Amino acid sequence: MQDHSKTSRAEAFDEPALLAQQRGFARLRFDASLEPGFLRYMHHRMADRSHLVAFISAFFMLLFALIDWWYLPPEYARYTIPARLVILLLVCGTIWYAARPNKVPPRRAFVAGAFSYTCSGLLVGVVIAGTRLMEMHVPVTHDGLYLVLLCGFFLVGLPTRHAVFGSWAIVIGYLLAEHAVGSPRIRIIASGLFLVSFAMIGSFGAYIYEHMMRSAYLNECLLKAARIRAERESQSKTRFLATASHDLRQPLHAMSLFIEHLDERVTEPEARHTVRRLADSTHLLQAMLNSLLDISRLSVGMVRPQLRPINLLPWLQSLVDSVETSAKERGITVQLICPRYSAVYSDPLLLERLMRNYVNNALMHSGASEVRIEVSRIGQRTRLAVVDNGCGLDEEEKDRIFEEFTQLRNPARTLDKGVGLGLSICRQLLHLLEYPSGVQSAPGQGARFWIEVPPADWSEASRVAAKPQAKESLHGRVAIVENDLISREATETLLRHWGCEVISYDSPEAAFAGIQDAAPDLLLSDYRLEGSMDGLELIRALRERRWFAGPVVLITADTSEELLEAARLADVAVVYKPVLPARLRRTVQKLMAELVRS
């Protein structure tokens, strides 16, 4: 059976119209755009209880037939029993017909159900009235009609108008039958008083029931509309992230490369100081952009963990080395306490971001003189902790620090302490990775931020490779494919300054036409290119034709997991924009060295 939630998308999308329906539907009628959907909804609800209705109808009809055979005179029972069986067949046939929401229109199903229900009730009334014409040892009362009316009002699930019409038809039919057989007036009045009162109460109950059904349906539609609106907003946010990743990272990428080139050529002290301040501002802007994009990507579920074993000692030592300069500038000592053969099973990029944010938080906000990274085994998990001897946190501050844009001790919002998203990103990453975590701290006693990660077996093969020396002179021919003029010129200038021979192309078609004759040693390609193919498709096409088989670096602002996985399968190194010049140099140097060794 098709679910009733599959109503028209127009109903779910028109949220203002749905809200307008909440102002009241005392007449039990929605407007023309919503009423058909509700009728389908109620039809499904009626069909859901069809088996129960069929069972109860069969049980009581057969029970009444047995009672007729047992109590009624044989000459009367031979008419009532077949009549009850015929009505039972009518009821079963009607249930089969009406309980097919995908094949029978709701209005027809309701009419058929009301007709079957009315016939059943009228038969009961006729049988009761007929007993008035004969002598009975046990007088037959109208109490059985209460059960029939109760089923019609609530159990069958008919709309209020159909249930009320059928029920009152049964009551009036019974009273007319009593009058036709000559029952005393006092009996007719007494029966009518009770039956009419019961029918009035049942009618009101049926009204309340349908009103509740309409309210439930309207709430479901509003929830569906809210879900669709949230999906639209999520898609809009995803499009914003894609646009921001490319359009905002692109000029930052060119700025970083130009600043690095300028820094290496400027010798006058004051000018060098200005260049370094410009570089620091660019790096700060890059960090802010990365934090904003990361928190947005995590919030819409665009990040999926890529788990693998990680040897902790070299991995954490690399992290400590990367923050050592910043720590020395603040007069802080950073220590690492980690067993030599300790390993965990996690996503190295996400775990690195998690630990780095904790360390940066301790360096910038704790006021500590010492920060330690500690690794220990707790039960079946490996605990990683960042410990400082700073000012500590009270209970209220422990909760506030994980809120977006919160900085407890930076009222002036100086940008050298970030934008207040580091620990918010940590919270999102912990939910994504499903790691137990906690904060132990007290005012004046420092703080301990810890997480527990699944352990893994230490492996020689998974050690972190030593980084090549960044200041060695570079040699070789590099081909650049970049459609953005400023970024292309910045990359050309920097690579030539480092000692490389550079050939550049502004489109995949130009690279496709000239790269075979140029015979470069290394290819640097942007991912989003103007033309018939993107950077990854260009690389695959060149390799298929055997025009270029050397190492490739894909430079992109697209941080999606799908692209990263596609690049990994194509054996292509990925560098994200804006590219730090030192990172670009290390990557080029490493690939060139591997090319020489091969």
Which stretch of 118-127, 266-275, 350-359 has the lowest confidence by average pLDDT? Answer: 266-275
The region that residue 106 occupies, defined by phi over 0 for left and psi between -120 and 50 for alpha, beta otherwise, is alpha
Based on the fold, state whether residues 199 and 52 are members of the same structural domain. yes
**CA 50 to CA 44: how far, in whole Å?**
10
Residue 118 belongs to some domain of the structure:
yes
Based on the fold, state whether residues 100 and 160 are members of the same structural domain. yes
Based on the fold, state whether residues 376 and 321 are members of the same structural domain. yes
Based on the fold, state whether residues 203 and 326 are members of the same structural domain. no
Which stretch of 125-129, 399-403, 479-483, 528-532 has the lowest confidence by average pLDDT? Answer: 399-403
Residue 234 belongs to some domain of the structure:
no
**Strand ranges of the sheet holding 552-556, from the earlier edge strand across to the other edge:** 501-505, 477-481, 522-526, 552-556, 573-576
Which stretch of 7-16, 50-59, 319-328, 498-507 has the lowest confidence by average pLDDT? Answer: 7-16
Is pLDDT larger for residue 55 or for residue 278? Answer: 55
Amino acid at 321: D
Q: Which of the four pLDDT bands, split at 50, 70 and 90, describes residue 1?
A: very low
Q: Which of the four pLDDT bands, split at 50, 70 and 90, describes residue 385?
A: very high
Residue 239 belongs to some domain of the structure:
no
Residue 2 belongs to some domain of the structure:
no
Based on the fold, state whether residues 328 and 442 are members of the same structural domain. yes
Listed in order, strand segments (DSSP E) in 149-243 are: none
Q: Which of 149-163, 370-384, 574-588 has the highest mean pLDDT?
A: 370-384
pLDDT at position 266: 79
Three-class SS of 409-465: CCCCCCHHHCCCCHHHHHHHHHHHHCCCEEEEECCCCCEEEEEEECECCCCHHHCCC
**CA 161 to CA 174: how far, in whole Å?**
20
**CA 425 to CA 404: how far, in whole Å?**
9
Residue 243 belongs to some domain of the structure:
no
- For the chain, how many structural domains are there in total? 3
pLDDT at position 232: 79
User: What is the residue range of 344's domain?
Assistant: 308-462
The CATH number for 363's domain is 3.30.565.10
Based on the fold, state whether residues 183 and 70 are members of the same structural domain. yes
Based on the fold, state whether residues 296 and 313 are members of the same structural domain. no
What average pLDDT does the segment 209-223 reach?
Answer: 87
pLDDT tens-digit map of 531-577: 788 889 999 999 898 888 889 999 887 767 788 888 888 888 888 77
Q: Which residue is it, tokens 């159909």?
A: 162
Based on the fold, state whether residues 409 and 519 are members of the same structural domain. no
Q: Which residue is it, tokens 């000029």?
A: 251
**Cα Rg of the chain, angstroms:** 39
Q: Which of the four pLDDT bands, split at 50, 70 and 90, describes residue 465?
A: very low
Residue 82 belongs to some domain of the structure:
yes
Residue 170 dihedral angles phi and psi, to the nearest 5°: -65, -45
pLDDT at position 579: 73
Based on the fold, state whether residues 296 and 316 are members of the same structural domain. no
- Entry pTM: 0.50
**CA 41 to CA 35: how far, in whole Å?**
10
Q: Which of 286-295, 322-331, 448-457 has the highest mean pLDDT?
A: 448-457
pLDDT at position 413: 44
Written as six digits, the tokens of 234 are 């999520």
Written as six digits, the tokens of 293 are 């994009």
**CA 404 to CA 407: how far, in whole Å?**
9
CB-CB neighbours of 145 under 10 Å: 22
**CA 96 to CA 98: how far, in whole Å?**
6
Residue 240 belongs to some domain of the structure:
no
In a 10 Å sphere around its CB, with 0-12 CB exposed, 13-18 middle and 19+ buried, how is residue 155 labelled?
middle
pLDDT at position 420: 59
pLDDT at position 312: 92
pLDDT at position 349: 81
pLDDT at position 241: 62
134 alpha-carbon distance from chain centroid: 71
Which of 434, 462, 490 is at the close of a domain?
462
Whether 3 has a pLDDT exceeding 80, the answer reads no
Whether 48 has a pLDDT exceeding 60, the answer reads yes
Is pLDDT larger for residue 338 or for residue 577? Answer: 338
pLDDT at position 34: 83
What average pLDDT does the segment 152-179 reach?
Answer: 91
In a 10 Å sphere around its CB, with 0-12 CB exposed, 13-18 middle and 19+ buried, how is residue 562 labelled?
exposed
Whether 13 has a pLDDT exceeding 60, the answer reads no
Q: Which residues 6+ apart lie within 8 Å of 161 measured at CB?
A: 28
Residues, the chain, total? 598
pLDDT at position 222: 84
pLDDT tens-digit map of 146-155: 888 888 888 8
In a 10 Å sphere around its CB, with 0-12 CB exposed, 13-18 middle and 19+ buried, how is residue 20 labelled?
exposed
Based on the fold, state whether residues 422 and 503 are members of the same structural domain. no
Based on the fold, state whether residues 451 and 360 are members of the same structural domain. yes
What average pLDDT does the segment 496-503 reach?
Answer: 88
Based on the fold, state whether residues 31 and 165 are members of the same structural domain. yes
Looking from the CA of 442 toward its CB, the CA atoms found within 13 Å total: 1
> Using an 8 Å Cβ cutoff, are 454 and 381 in contact?
yes
| H or E element at residue 346 | strand 343-346
Whether 203 has a pLDDT exceeding 90, the answer reads yes
Which of 429, 462, 495 is at the close of a domain?
462
> Between the CA atoms of 461, 463, 467 and 468, what dihedral angle is there, to the nearest 10 degrees?
-30
What average pLDDT does the segment 202-221 reach?
Answer: 89
Q: Which residues 6+ apart lie within 8 Å of 581 measured at CB?
A: 256, 257, 259, 260, 494
Smallest CA-to-CA distance from 281 within 414, 95, 148 is with: 414
Q: Which residue is it, tokens 């089969």?
A: 96
Which of 226, 261, 276 is at the close of a domain?
226
pLDDT at position 4: 44
**CA 470 to CA 447: how far, in whole Å?**
36
Share of the chain above pLDDT 90, in %: 26
The CATH number for 297's domain is 3.40.50.2300
Q: Which of 127-141, 356-370, 391-405 has the highest mean pLDDT?
A: 356-370
pLDDT at position 466: 44
CB-CB neighbours of 126 under 10 Å: 16
Q: Which of the four pLDDT bands, split at 50, 70 and 90, describes residue 20?
A: low
Residue 441 dihedral angles phi and psi, to the nearest 5°: -165, 160
Residue 438 dihedral angles phi and psi, to the nearest 5°: -175, 170
Residue 241 belongs to some domain of the structure:
no
What average pLDDT does the segment 314-319 reach?
Answer: 90
pLDDT tens-digit map of 390-420: 888 888 777 777 775 566 555 444 444 555 5
Which stretch of 199-213, 398-412, 461-475, 479-493 has the lowest confidence by average pLDDT? Answer: 461-475
Positive or negative torsion for Cα 202, 206, 211, 212? positive
- Please give the mean pLDDT across all residues of the chain: 82
